[in-house]
Amino acid sequence: MGTIHELDPVTIGQIAAGEVIERPASVVKELVENSVDAGARRIVVSLECGGLDLIEVVDDGFGIAPADLALAVRPHTTSKLRTADELEWIATLGFRGEGLASIAAVARLDIVSRQAPDSIGARVRAHAQEVGEAEPSPSPVGTAVRVAALFENVPVRREFLRSPSAEFNRISSWLSNFALGYPERTFVLRHEGKDVWVMPAAGDERERLGMVFGAKAAQSLLSLDGAGASTIEGRLRGFVSAPGFDRPDRRMQLLFVNGRLLRSAVLASAWTSGYATFAMIGRHPYGVIFIDLPAHHVDPNVHPTKSDVRLRYPSQVFEAVRRTIAATLNDHAKERFRDQTGTVAGVELSFAPSELALLKEGSEELRRVGAMRVLMQVDRTYILAGDETALLLVDQHAAHERIAYESIAAAADATPSSEPLLVPQIVELDAEQSVVLDGSLELLRKGGLEIEPFGERTYRIVATPFGYGARTFDLAGFLDDLSNEPKQRDVRERVWASLACHSVTTAGERLDYGEMTTLVERLQSCENPMHCPHGRPTMVRLGPDQVARMFKRV
């Protein structure tokens, strides 16, 4: 007896649907794409309970003939493709004829539709493998598809769904992103009987961008129009965020290829490479790119939900995206520079003998640091920042020391603000060190560092100054430092300077972009941002005049 047998049709249907219909948003995608293929001018998506209870998509497209209605719901039935040769020339979003069948396999499907010449429409209901007979039904021209009880018969799928509001958010963001590609059509999203948003046809494109990216973020978008000669047979347009406007992930890098909203690894890297020197490490620009290619240059039949495509000439498309973005950013930078040159001339720079100038304390230039952007970490020791007029090198350790010192001093003057360590740190000291420590325990406590004796020459650090608890406090180093500090300094200052020095980031420590930005920002708000508590400079500035001299321009 063999062990292989044929699967029953219900199981086959559910397996096939599993690839296409993963969650409510997949249903919305299939239905809205059908409406677009049907030439609809207005598409209204209504949801109940984030789509878990009901998804309804109503369009004013050309509708489905009554005779086709029951067929449309069957697997592998489509009006968009006849023969395999035509696969090369797909101009519609759908073509596999499995959207409605997949939905019917996992939900209760109800379609009402009418075509323009008919006086009355028709209705069909389908569920699992059962498809009802089409019956006459009044209907405006167009199609209304209702999908209820999603995954009622596939409980395991239900378990993978998130909360109704999370599923709603997915649908809302997919639909609004998708609508960017179809500005000449109206899209409406309703939830629990209320309009959530409306994107009117032929509205202002910037307005749609504002709805997708947020009004403020959309203002920074640069149009790609007219940038750089294209290397592709086709058209490329879109909007990308200006340097300095970015996000922690790539989610808002939207890409349309021939009207399909996609994720494409190739084009995501083209995007990154277009930004090369403009984007910060770990930050990602956002925007939307529309690429229109000849149909036979794009194979949409490589992914179950068609959310990626195969490009016939990927490297050309990559180059076109990269160059267009780079050209747009360069043009933008040139304009900005022209706008800024007046200001550059107005900045008074201070010069050291060396090519790098130390910033004068309290000078005008310092306030300009506010516009500085952190660019990168150099040698795990310095933070390179810059704006349109100058580069700034910040010594991460010296800067952090200054910040720590000022906050420790401030804390000691007010109520000490310390943070208990989750796990107290035990340290063993030598005789000399423990003498120094015993003499300064009280001052340290005022500065936020709480240390308790814990046996012979053994101590327990129970709390560190607020905000520095995450870093291991180097108590032994601190005590050595404290004994070497010039004695003429105020003992409080000495303790705090050493405390600051040993509770902060060291040279050689990798900082992420967020940490660097915070460091530079906090440094700027220090009373004396120019020097660490030991008097070393915290930053040097390289202005246009110094750069010009380095290149022997003056």
> Residue numbers of the site for ligand ADP (CB under 6 A)?
30, 34-35, 38, 59, 61, 63-64, 72, 77-80, 94-101, 143
Provide, rounded to whole angstroms, the least separation between the CB of residue 197 and Mg ion.
24
Q: Identify which of 227, 183, 235 has the alpha carbon closest to the alpha carbon of residue 207.
A: 183
State the minimum distance, in angstroms, from the CB of residue 145 to Mg ion: 11
Q: How far apart are CA 499 and CA 83, in angstroms?
A: 77
Largest CA distance in the chain: 101
Look at residue 95 and give the partner it binds from ligand ADP, Mg ion, none, a contact being a CB closer than 5 to 8 Å depending on partner kind.
Answer: ligand ADP
Looking at residue 247, what DSSP letter applies? B
Partner whose binding site includes residue 164, from ligand ADP, Mg ion, none (CB under 5 to 8 Å by kind)? none
User: Counting Cβ atoms within 10 Å, is residue 426 exposed (0-12), middle (13-18) or buried (19+)?
Assistant: exposed
When CB distances to ligand ADP are compared, the closest residue is 94
- We find the least distance from the C-beta atom of residue 140 to Mg ion, in angstroms, to be 21
| Residue pair 257/297 in contact by the 8 Å Cβ criterion | no
Query: Least CB distance from residue 271 to ligand ADP, whole Å?
Result: 29
- CA–CA distances in Å: residue 54 to residues 145, 161, 177: 10, 15, 22
Burial class (CB in 10 A: 0-12, 13-18, 19+), 180: buried
Closest CB 388 distance from ligand ADP, rounded Å = 51
Identify which of residues 70 and 540 has a Cβ nearer to Mg ion in the complex. 70
Tell me how far CA of residue 516 lies from CA of 122, 200, 512, in angstroms.
64, 43, 6
Q: Which positions touch Mg ion (CB under 5 A)?
A: 34, 94, 99
**Judged by CB, which is closer to Mg ion: 39, or 214?**
39
Nearer to ligand ADP, 34 or 328 (CB): 34
Residue 35 touches which of Mg ion, ligand ADP, none (Cβ within 5-8 Å per kind): ligand ADP
Q: How far is the CB of 235 from ligand ADP (least distance, A)?
A: 25
The interface partner of residue 316, options being Mg ion, ligand ADP, none and the CB cut-off 5 to 8 Å by kind, is none
Q: Is the Cβ of residue 224 or residue 261 nearer to ligand ADP in the bound state? A: 261
Of all residues in this chain, which one has the CB nearest to Mg ion in the complex? Answer: 94
Q: Are 172 and 164 in contact (CB under 8 A)?
A: no
Is residue 300 within 8 Å of 312, Cβ to Cβ? no
| Length of the chain counted residue by residue | 554
Q: Which of 483, 406, 477 is nearest to 439 (CA)?
A: 483
Residue 428 is encoded by which pair of tokens? 């063993």
Shortest approach of ligand ADP to residue 35 CB, angstroms? 5
Q: Which does 143 bind (CB under 5 to 8 A by kind): ligand ADP, Mg ion, none?
A: ligand ADP
Judged by CB, which is closer to ligand ADP: 124, or 516? 124
